[in-house]
A = this chain, B = another copy of it.
Amino acid sequence: MNAGKAKKRVIIVGGGFGGLRVARGLAGVDDVEITLLDRRNHHLFQPLLYQVAMAGLSPAEIAVPIRTVFSRQSNCRVILETATGIDFANKKLKTAGLGELDYDWLVLACGSRHSYFGHIEWEDYAPGLKSLEEATEIRRRVLTAFELAEKETDPAKQRRLLTFVVIGGGPTGVELAGALGEISRFTLSRDFRRIDPERARVILIEAGPRILPTFAEKLSDKATRDLEQLGVTVWTNSMVTNVTGDGVVLGGESVHAATVLWAAGVAPPELNRGLGVELDRQGRVIVEKDCSIPGHRDVFVIGDQAHIEEEPGKPLPGLAPVAIQQGKHIARNIQLELKGKAREPFHYVDKGQMATIGRRRAIAQFAGMEIAGFFAWLAWLLVHVYYLIGFKNRLQVMWEWTWSYLKFRRGARLIVNKEWHAPLPAPAKPAEPPPAVESRPPPPAQAHA
C-alpha cells in the first residue's frame, strides 16, 4: 500500500514491560520498521523473579525469548545488542556491535540496575535480584548454605550458615524474606536430618521506620505480623553500614550471616549519564508530558529509566504498570504522528499495588481499598498469572504453584551454575570488573558455570 514510501524506523532499546508494549502496540502498522534491541535474548516477568531465586519456579517459567513474542509480527526485528549512546543531531543510536543505527523515533526502555549507594564492593556479598543469572545465583547460595549447615558440627558456624539477611523492606525484600522464612521452617524439617530449624534465622533489615513504605501504614503492620509468623525478624530504622564476607554490620552491631541478599535500591542504567540531557538526582532522565526528552521530540524514555511527573514534585513510581501504560501510549502517539495528527500527553491510571508474604498471604491496595490476608493473596496470584505473557507459561506456573501449595515442596531446588564446593560468599575481591563487551575465555571444564 505504501510500497513507494520509505518506512519510518522505530528503534526500541530494552525488551522489558515498556519496550515490549511499544513494539506490540505497533503491530500491523505497515509504515514502520521496528528494531528492538536487548542485551538479553529474553523478556523477564520480573514480579515473579523472587520465585526463581527461592527455588519455586524455573527460569523458563517466567521468561520468554523476545524473538518468540514477535515471531508473527513481521514489522519487528529483534537483535541481541547493547546501546552505548545517542547521536541526537544525526538521529543515530550507537551500539556496541552493530555500529550506528538510524532512527526516526527512538524509545529508551532499559529499566534499572541495583544501587549499592556507592558501595559497589558489597555486591559480591549481597547479590540483588534483577536477572535470571542473579536469581539462580541467589538460589545457589541459599541451597548451598543449607547443605553446608547439614554437614557442619560447630554450632556457631552452623548458625552463621543458617542466618539469612535481606536488606531492604520494599516488596522484593518482603517477598524474599517471606519465602526464606517458609523454606527454613517447612522444607528443612523434612529433608534435612541434622539441621535444627530453631537455629535458622531470617532477618529483614529496613532503614526507614516501616517496611513497604509505599503502602498504607495499616498494611505495613499487617505484613510485619505475617512475616513474624513465618519466623522472619523485621528490623526497621536499621541502617546497614557495611557488608562483608562474614555478614552485615549495622553501626556497632554485627550479624554473622552466610547469605545476604540486596533489595535496597535501584539506579538508572549507565547509559543515562552519557546522554548529555537533564537527569534527576537519582540519574533518571527527566521527560516531558509525552515521555520525550526536552529538546529531542523523537526520543522517548519510559519506565524505571525516566522521571515523569503527573503532579509537580511527585514522579511516578518504578512499577510495571507505569512502563506498560507508557509503552502503549507511545505506540499510539507514533501512530497519531504517522497520520499527521498531534501527540497526546501521557496520563497514568493507578492500578494499585500488591506484595505477597509467603505462600498464602498478601497485601493489596487499589481503588481506595486496602486488603490483606488470603484474599489479597488470591488477588495477587490471579493478577500475576494473568499478566504472565504466553498461554503456556501461565498454565505451567499455575500447575507448579498448585503442586507446591498442596505438597509444600519446591520444584526447582537445583544447585547449578557454580562449583558446588565453593564455600559461600568467598571473601576475596576480584581484581577488576570484567570487560563489558570484549571476548572472555570460557571457563575450563569443571567450571562450566
In the assembled complex, A378 has its CB within 8 A of some CB on chain B: no
In the assembled complex, A396 has its CB within 8 A of some CB on chain B: yes
B-contacting residues, A415-449, CB 8 Å: 415-423, 425-430, 433-434, 436-437, 439-449
In the complex, the chain B residue whose C-beta lies closest to that of A42 is: B414
Q: Which of A62-70, A287-295, A314-322, A336-344 contacts B (4 or more CB under 8 A)?
A: A62-70
Q: In the complex, what distance in Å separates the CA atom of A123 from the CA atom of B444?
A: 8
1/0 contact trace for A262-283 toward B, CB 8 Å? 0000000000000000000000
In the assembled complex, A171 has its CB within 8 A of some CB on chain B: no
* Cross-chain contact B150 with A415 (CB below 8 angstroms): no
Count of A interface residues, CB-CB < 8 Å: 82
Query: Which of A82, A124, A127 has the most chain B CB atoms closer than 10 A to its own CB?
Result: A124
Q: Which of B77, B96, B425 contacts A193 (CB 8 A)?
A: B77
* Cross-chain contact A441 with B124 (CB below 8 angstroms): yes
Q: In the complex, what distance in Å separates the CA atom of A67 from the CA atom of B192?
A: 7
1/0 contact trace for A79-109 toward B, CB 8 Å? 1111000000000000011100000000000
* Cross-chain contact B426 with A124 (CB below 8 angstroms): no
In the complex, the chain B residue whose C-beta lies closest to that of A428 is: B441
Q: Which of A10-18, A22-30, A130-138 contacts B (4 or more CB under 8 A)?
A: A130-138
* Cross-chain contact B191 with A41 (CB below 8 angstroms): no
In the assembled complex, A239 has its CB within 8 A of some CB on chain B: no
* Cross-chain contact B40 with A415 (CB below 8 angstroms): yes
A41 neighbours in B (Cβ, 8 Å):
143, 147, 413-415, 420
Query: Which of A67, A123, A425, A434 has the most chain B CB atoms closer than 10 A to its own CB?
Result: A67
* Cross-chain contact A421 with B58 (CB below 8 angstroms): no
Q: In the complex, what distance in Å separates the CA atom of A415 from the CA atom of B441?
A: 17
Query: Which of A96, A133, A434 has the most chain B CB atoms closer than 10 A to its own CB?
Result: A133
* Cross-chain contact A421 with B191 (CB below 8 angstroms): no
Oligomer copy total: 2
Q: In the complex, what distance in Å separates the CA atom of A315 from the CA atom of B5?
A: 72
CB distance from A126 to the nearest CB of B (A): 11
In the assembled complex, A392 has its CB within 8 A of some CB on chain B: yes
Q: In the complex, what distance in Å separates the CA atom of A80 from the CA atom of B67?
A: 39
In the assembled complex, A214 has its CB within 8 A of some CB on chain B: no
A433 neighbours in B (Cβ, 8 Å):
444-446
CB distance from A388 to the nearest CB of B (A): 14
CB distance from A408 to the nearest CB of B (A): 11
* Cross-chain contact B65 with A191 (CB below 8 angstroms): yes
Q: In the complex, what distance in Å separates the CA atom of A429 from the CA atom of B441?
A: 7
A123 neighbours in B (Cβ, 8 Å):
444-445
A192 neighbours in B (Cβ, 8 Å):
67
A120 neighbours in B (Cβ, 8 Å):
445
B-contacting residues, A354-375, CB 8 Å: none
CB distance from A217 to the nearest CB of B (A): 35
In the complex, the chain B residue whose C-beta lies closest to that of A409 is: B68
7 residue pairs, one from A and one from B, having the closest CB atoms = A428-B441, A60-B412, A133-B448, A80-B147, A58-B58, A449-B449, A58-B60
Q: List 9 A-B contacts (CB under 8 A).
A: A59-B412, A80-B421, A123-B444, A123-B445, A124-B442, A133-B416, A136-B417, A417-B449, A426-B442
